[in-house]
Structure 1
Amino acid sequence: MSEDAMQLDEIVVTARKRARGESLQETPISATAFGPAQMENFFVNDIVDVGRLAPSVALQPSAQKGVQNFAIRGMGVSGSTPSDEPAVGIFQDGVYWGSNYGALGDLFDVESVEILRGPQGTLFGRNVTGGAVSFRSARPSFSDSTKATVGIGNYGSYEASAVLNRPLVQDKLAARLAVQSRWLDGYFTDATTDSDYGESHSLIVRPSLRFTPNDNLDVTLIGEWYSEKGDPVVARGVSPSTLPGSPLTLPQQEGYLTPANFWTVAPDTRGSNDIDVLFGVLEVNWNLGGGVLTSVTGYRDVRTRVLTDFDGTPSRAFLQSIAQDQDQFSSELRYAMPLSDSFDFTTGLYYFEQNFNFREGRDLNNGTQRLATRSLLDNDSFAIFAEADWRPLDRLTVTVGARYTEETKKAQAAPFGACALDFSTCTLSPQAKTDDSNLSPKLGLAYRLTDDQLLFASATRGFRSGGFSLRGTPIIEPYKAEQVTAYEIGYKADLLNRHLRFNLSAYNNDYKDLQRTVLGTSPTQGVVQSVFNAADATIRGIEVEATAILTEHLSVSGSYGHTDAEYKSFAGVADPGSRQFVRVPKDSFNLTASYERTLADGGAFKANLSSSYTGAYFFDDPNLLKQKSYNLLDANLNYTTPSGVWTVSVYGKNLTKEEYAFWGSTLGFLGQNSFPGAPRTWGLRLTAEY
């Protein structure tokens, strides 16, 4: 192998929405990007998996199936309240997910994933104060290709997928169809029946068309149907073991999430889970006037039906039913143009609207207490934005940008007790309305020390939308937008003839009017538990990423993130600095190694090993429930035949059988519950590609 062939590959990203893709190493933002080869190397199934490979990123599920609790640089959401706006924006093919409900983003037939760390308000808008995750589906190409995969694993795991790509009119019209289905009997044992628990069946169907009538116009239409059915997220009651009704206190327990029989549950009812997501996007790129005019129009419809034994014990103490319907429409029109070698810009308009209808029922204390709530929300938003790069000197770039947003929310709610459990009757409040506007500016500097080394710094502002608390409480006065002022410096380098890639970032983010659920006083309702602008905080940290080619066959990579999150004020807390953020470990890191070589028979062998460490963190604002630190070790072996058509793979995840949970809560006199992560899993996969 030549010296040039051993160099690290250039990674091209579209994070800054310029007229053409940019090299990640030349882009003055903190970002991690993955292509199909990297995701296949580490058997990435969804966004949760890919989040373990980036620093200061925690992409976790919640206590409801298909609801994400994503955090970047200490900012995120913990819970499943539908009105809670995310702090990490998810963008599928350029379309923002307006709700935390839906799928967790199965990364099947995806050509790229970009994780942008820190506020991204100028180009991506509201609700990206922590960062953004953008993934892009593979587009139809003008060549015949077919890829099919089947797999089998422990815990009754099966998978099958196929991708067909065909040119319909050469160089003019191409079609692609991607289909994937996965089955799982469940990772858990039901202690009351000694049967499997956690069954799941998911299906993705994604057809797409690409039309290029001439060299200046490219039109892509993508549709997707996602379905997931089976058992709900597994809740496990861990303390106490007594029946409901006994007076109990909840002392802080350092290691409460590591009891014996960790993957055993004892539900009184199996529950059910039913999610359907319809998605469509039309993307048009038109080379016009020396630049590119881009239109991205998307629609998403989410239907969720969940019945969960939330206390996770044999006693019928807390049976929860949730029905959530959400639909959204968005359209972005932008123009990007390099005016000269020293100046280029992107500017655009954006419109978004969504509606949701949320219902929740709670059957408590063996049916002696039955409560239900309902909420409705209409939300629309409009924005205008621009960002420009100016190079006054050969190696110096100045970036200036801003985004202005106007937003309206209209809401109705029926608190717990105002609806019958079957929703045959329900008394909704009069409609409440709030209007808001916000400006998100950015100033950045980038200086090229050499052709392979970049220094950059930025100052930016962003916001997380205000609104109404819509889960079981009366509608009170709206809470304000959450504001962040962020400062960052960074260094990117390809060294040793591009055998070593080293990136370093440091940041300081000041948050004002943090939205937290606390006891507060409303002028109209008195003392209520609801969302208030309850806190101010500072989050600072450092991040390191490195990749090295050690030999012709061996490469290693790793990342480290240290997060120091501190409350400056917190309503009702005398010493806010002593309280830790929810789901924010101080330290996290990952290490990966890949070994690849051509065998004597002409076939190829590849081995991959990855380890991800997550430091200890709390699940709740009072800091009662703590998850201890844990490390997940994954590995896989792959052999590709000399023809290049067949690949057989053996993989294992959580090989050390680490015990951890991705969510936990206190349930008053019922004690506590936890939602365990997956145990050790393994499987065999066969792929044909031609």
Structure 2
Amino acid sequence: MYTHTALATAVALALGSWSSLAAADTQAGQAQSSDAQADGPATGDYLPKVTVTAQKREETAQEIPSAISVLSGDKVRDDALQSANEITRYIPNASAGTTEAHGRPRWWIRGLGTGDQGANTVSPVGIYVDDVYIANISATAFPLFDLERVEVLRGPQGTLWGKNTTGGAINFISRKPTFDPSGYFKIGAGNYNDRVVEGAASDALVDDRLAARVSFHHEARDGYNENIADNDDRGGLEDDAVRLQFLANINDNLQANLNLHARSYHDTAGYSTVSYGLQPNGNNQFGYHIDPKQGKVNFNSKYESDVDQAGTSLNLDWQLGDLTLTSITAFEHFTRDGFSDGDNTPQELQRSYSYADSRQWSQEIRLASAKADRLSWVVGFHYFNEDLHSTGVNAALANPYITPYYNNLSYDQRTESYALFGSSTFHFTDAFSVTAGLRWTRETKDIDLSRLQNSGAANFTGSDWWKTSSVGSALAVNAVQDERNTWSDWTYDLTPEYRLSDNARVYFRYAYGFRSGGYNTGATNQATVATVDPEFLTAYELGLKSEWFDGRLNANAAVFYYDYKDIQLNIVSAVDNQTVSRLANGAKGEVYGGEFEIEAIPVQNLHLTASLGLLHTEFTDYTSGSNDYSGNKFVRAPSVSAVIGADYRIPLAVGGALVLGTDWDTRSRQYFFSNDQSASMRTGGYTLGNARVTYELPGDATHVTLYANNVTDKEYRSHTLPGGYQTAGVMYGDPRTFGVSVTTDF
């Protein structure tokens, strides 16, 4: 196990040795490394160059004057990362929370994010799949399979990535079709009856003209939790997804890629909550008592969710001499049905139901100059349209403790957004360049909201209790909103960069971003109906990127300061014995910190990574009603986050190799809510370790891996909720899991 101090010391020692490393480099060695890195394996003699498209054109990650982390598709596959939010465990100052096993992720980068569960809430961290922006946060949980890489961009990305990306952007990039036969097949099994089958196949349909790639993913497992109310396992899931792509060389200058994908997901209380009383003796209002414990839940009503998702995108790249014209047209349809036991006890107190249906389509057009020019630039246009319908019901059925009630909040929201953007880089000298970007965004949102509640005794009939037709009393409207608002603003960035040597560069980045306004869909009465204004962020970042020891070591560092205003906050509390989440804004805050990342091959076949994130967050002005929360910390913003990992490849005399790997991720204390930061609404610091042993068969085509995640079986909280009737609820992180997988490449 690695402590915060040990990790910080290791990184500091590595950073402190940069000056001595510089003396060891020679110009001849650098030239040799530059040629070799293009194709080299990470466990060979040198680190490979990683090509990314973070600035909407191909370049290496080390050349980009911005804080960016990249996970390769092989890393995702070999480490068995099954859900999208798992990638943040490798990224400093980044985290993701989820209220389902593989669904409804919430993203945070450098303390910026949102925990709001409303289907209409957009995240300050923009999530993209193959360069397509996904607005519905729940739809960003598409499983990870057959990926080329994942790019994580920290800090405001409001110029090229645009829409609402005050916190940063994450882009999941699929492997594209090839004109030569290629693919893989993977099968795995683990405890909790976990089973995974996935694969991909690619080949030419018409030589040099048309290629196709089909990939699929299936995972199923039993639950991590035992429901002691009925002695049944809860938390089981089944996740199926498929992707079909066609790559066409229409002529020598025009290439098209058509992407078709779909997903079907089902879970039974994937992250069900352990409810416990807040009275001094541990009881709730009705004398019910249970000690919160990982692996144990106790509820009596239906607890499950179903997700269906399908989409398509068409990417056209047209080479016009030295210019490249890119068009991306995309459509995405997402639906979710969810049921839960609102009180999380075997007592019949509350039940909840939610439904969301979103349909979005977008169009982006970009024109880019040649990267090698002294002045290079990208200009473009982006259009986005979403139609969203959502229904949320919470109700108390007939029981001896409380009077039955019924609440139904439904709304339709349409979002339409336009943006013009551009970014250019001018090289004043071989050593000094300046990049400047500018974007204008105009976004309009219409909402038609209605909240119904029973006006008499709510006597429910039938199993479809959530339907208005099942309520045995008249319904009255207690909140309505029919509103249309338009917000527009400029976002921009300015980044001077100076090349200290052939292997080291420094940059300073100034960026201004905004997240457009919206509506509070957690209204409980007419007084809580609200329109939320845009939020604004001014960011300053100073960074260093460097490569040493002839391509054996990459060492990067960044320090930053954020001035955050009109922050959109998710305020969660128990109102009338119901957990209520509402959206509000107006607070101010500041963020500062740093990230330090090292990747090295000190000796042949030994690959080391280490990263350290330091973060200070504080609300400098935050009042809600008569309450003053100034001084509180941001949500899911640990002051220390660190990751250290190692892979060692041992060639075998009989052929093949043995690869030993491990990674350890540590996080300090985190708060789950901006308003309530009491001891019951936070998690203490924790460290999670993973280990794996891989046998590479001769020929390096087939790999057999034994793995264990959370090897110490650390018990930690992944989320906590305030509840009614003097209760609170705890969701625990995954326990220790282990298994075996076999992967064959062809």
Residue 413 of structure 2 aligns with which residue?
377
Mapping 1:28-107, distance limit 5 Å: 28-62=65-99, 66-107=103-144
Mapping 1:601-640, distance limit 5 Å: 601-620=654-673, 621-624=675-678, 625-640=681-696
In structure 2, how many angstroms separate the alpha carbons of the residues matched to 1:507 and 1:430? 40
Q: Report the alpha carbon displacement of residue 530 of structure 1 after superposing the two structures with TM.
A: 4.6
Contact 1:603–1:641 (Cα < 8 Å) also in 2: yes
Contact 2:278–2:284 (Cα < 8 Å) also in 1: no
Moved more, 510-519 or 591-600: 510-519
Distance 1:598-1:339 versus aligned 2 partners, 3 A rule: closer
| Residue aligned with 1:583, SS | coil
Contact 1:662–1:675 (Cα < 8 Å) also in 2: yes
Mapping 1:406-417, distance limit 5 Å: 406-415=442-451, 417=453
Aligned amino acid, residue 661 of structure 1: R
Residue 368 of structure 2 aligns with which residue?
336
Q: Cα deviations across residues 557-588 of structure 1 (Å, max 9, x unaligned)?
A: 11111110111100247764431222211111
Q: Report the alpha carbon displacement of residue 272 of structure 1 after superposing the two structures with TM.
A: 1.9
Q: Cα deviations across residues 51-102 of structure 1 (Å, max 9, x unaligned)?
A: 1101100022136962121100000011312222201110001111111123
Q: Report the alpha carbon displacement of residue 299 of structure 1 after superposing the two structures with TM.
A: 0.8
Residue 560 of structure 1 aligns with which residue?
612
Aligned amino acid, residue 103 of structure 2: G
Mapping 1:444-593, distance limit 5 Å: 444-473=495-524, 474=526, 476-517=529-570, 530-572=582-624, 576-593=629-646
| Residue aligned with 1:463, SS | strand
Structure 1 position 668 matched with structure 2 position 704: no
In structure 2, how many angstroms separate the alpha carbons of the residues matched to 1:518 and 1:607? 45
Contact 1:60–1:68 (Cα < 8 Å) also in 2: yes
In structure 2, how many angstroms separate the alpha carbons of the residues matched to 1:260 and 1:247? 16
Residue 685 of structure 1 aligns with which residue?
741
Structure 1 position 422 matched with structure 2 position 467: yes
| Residue aligned with 1:638, SS | strand
Q: Report the alpha carbon displacement of residue 246 of structure 1 after superposing the two structures with TM.
A: 4.7
In structure 2, how many angstroms separate the alpha carbons of the residues matched to 1:609 and 1:365? 50
Structure 1 position 158 matched with structure 2 position 180: no
Aligned amino acid, residue 517 of structure 2: G
Aligned amino acid, residue 237 of structure 1: S
Structure 1 position 16 matched with structure 2 position 48: no
Mapping 1:378-417, distance limit 5 Å: 378-415=414-451, 417=453
| Residue aligned with 1:167, SS | strand
In structure 2, how many angstroms separate the alpha carbons of the residues matched to 1:201 and 1:478? 38
Q: Report the alpha carbon displacement of residue 42 of structure 1 after superposing the two structures with TM.
A: 2.4
Q: Report the alpha carbon displacement of residue 632 of structure 1 after superposing the two structures with TM.
A: 1.0
Q: Report the alpha carbon displacement of residue 675 of structure 1 after superposing the two structures with TM.
A: 1.4
TM-score when normalising by structure 2: 0.86
Moved more, 420-429 or 55-64: 420-429
Aligned amino acid, residue 12 of structure 1: T
Contact 1:605–1:640 (Cα < 8 Å) also in 2: yes
Residue 524 of structure 1 aligns with which residue?
none
TM-score when normalising by structure 1: 0.93
Mapping 1:94-243, distance limit 5 Å: 94-232=131-269, 233-240=271-278
Residue 3 of structure 2 aligns with which residue?
none
| Residue aligned with 1:578, SS | coil
Q: Report the alpha carbon displacement of residue 448 of structure 1 after superposing the two structures with TM.
A: 0.7
Q: Report the alpha carbon displacement of residue 38 of structure 1 after superposing the two structures with TM.
A: 2.3
In structure 2, how many angstroms separate the alpha carbons of the residues matched to 1:339 and 1:682? 46
Q: Report the alpha carbon displacement of residue 470 of structure 1 after superposing the two structures with TM.
A: 1.5
| Residue aligned with 1:83, SS | coil
Distance 1:545-1:519 versus aligned 2 partners, 3 A rule: closer
Residue 711 of structure 2 aligns with which residue?
655
Q: Report the alpha carbon displacement of residue 495 of structure 1 after superposing the two structures with TM.
A: 1.2
Aligned amino acid, residue 121 of structure 1: G
Q: Report the alpha carbon displacement of residue 103 of structure 1 after superposing the two structures with TM.
A: 4.8
Distance 1:264-1:530 versus aligned 2 partners, 3 A rule: closer
Contact 1:140–1:174 (Cα < 8 Å) also in 2: yes
Q: Cα deviations across residues 91-116 of structure 1 (Å, max 9, x unaligned)?
A: 00111111112352311001010000
Q: Report the alpha carbon displacement of residue 542 of structure 1 after superposing the two structures with TM.
A: 0.6
Contact 2:523–2:529 (Cα < 8 Å) also in 1: no
> Which structure: greater helix fraction?
2
Q: Cα deviations across residues 488-527 of structure 1 (Å, max 9, x unaligned)?
A: 010011012222211000011111101125599xxxxxxx
Contact 2:71–2:150 (Cα < 8 Å) also in 1: yes
User: Residue 316 of structure 1: which of 348, 353, 378 is its match?
Assistant: 348
Distance 1:416-1:6 versus aligned 2 partners, 3 A rule: farther
**Unaligned segments of structure 1, at least 5 residues:** 249-255, 521-527
Mapping 1:354-365, distance limit 5 Å: 354-364=386-396
In structure 1, how many angstroms separate the alpha carbons of the residues matched to 2:587 and 2:645? 38
In structure 1, how many angstroms separate the alpha carbons of the residues matched to 2:715 and 2:398? 31
Moved more, 104-113 or 377-386: 104-113
In structure 2, how many angstroms separate the alpha carbons of the residues matched to 1:179 and 1:519? 38
Contact 1:152–1:685 (Cα < 8 Å) also in 2: yes
Q: Report the alpha carbon displacement of residue 190 of structure 1 after superposing the two structures with TM.
A: 1.2
Aligned amino acid, residue 433 of structure 2: T
Contact 2:165–2:514 (Cα < 8 Å) also in 1: yes
Tell me the percent identity.
27
In structure 2, how many angstroms separate the alpha carbons of the residues matched to 1:199 and 1:266? 16
**Unaligned segments of structure 2, at least 5 residues:** 1-31, 37-43, 456-464, 470-474, 574-579
Aligned amino acid, residue 236 of structure 1: V
Distance 1:316-1:268 versus aligned 2 partners, 3 A rule: same
In structure 2, how many angstroms separate the alpha carbons of the residues matched to 1:26 and 1:529? 42
| Residue aligned with 1:669, SS | coil
Q: Report the alpha carbon displacement of residue 270 of structure 1 after superposing the two structures with TM.
A: 4.0
Aligned amino acid, residue 304 of structure 1: R
Aligned amino acid, residue 17 of structure 1: K
Q: Cα deviations across residues 337-388 of structure 1 (Å, max 9, x unaligned)?
A: 0386311000000000101111111123656222221111010000000000
Contact 1:208–1:221 (Cα < 8 Å) also in 2: yes
| Residue aligned with 1:281, SS | strand
Aligned amino acid, residue 453 of structure 1: A
Contact 1:63–1:675 (Cα < 8 Å) also in 2: no
Structure 1 position 443 matched with structure 2 position 475: no
Contact 2:520–2:530 (Cα < 8 Å) also in 1: no
| Residue aligned with 2:122, SS | coil
In structure 1, how many angstroms separate the alpha carbons of the residues matched to 2:707 and 2:349? 39
Distance 1:103-1:442 versus aligned 2 partners, 3 A rule: closer
Q: Cα deviations across residues 592-617 of structure 1 (Å, max 9, x unaligned)?
A: 00011321122122121010011111
Distance 1:261-1:623 versus aligned 2 partners, 3 A rule: closer
| Residue aligned with 2:621, SS | strand
Contact 1:102–1:304 (Cα < 8 Å) also in 2: no
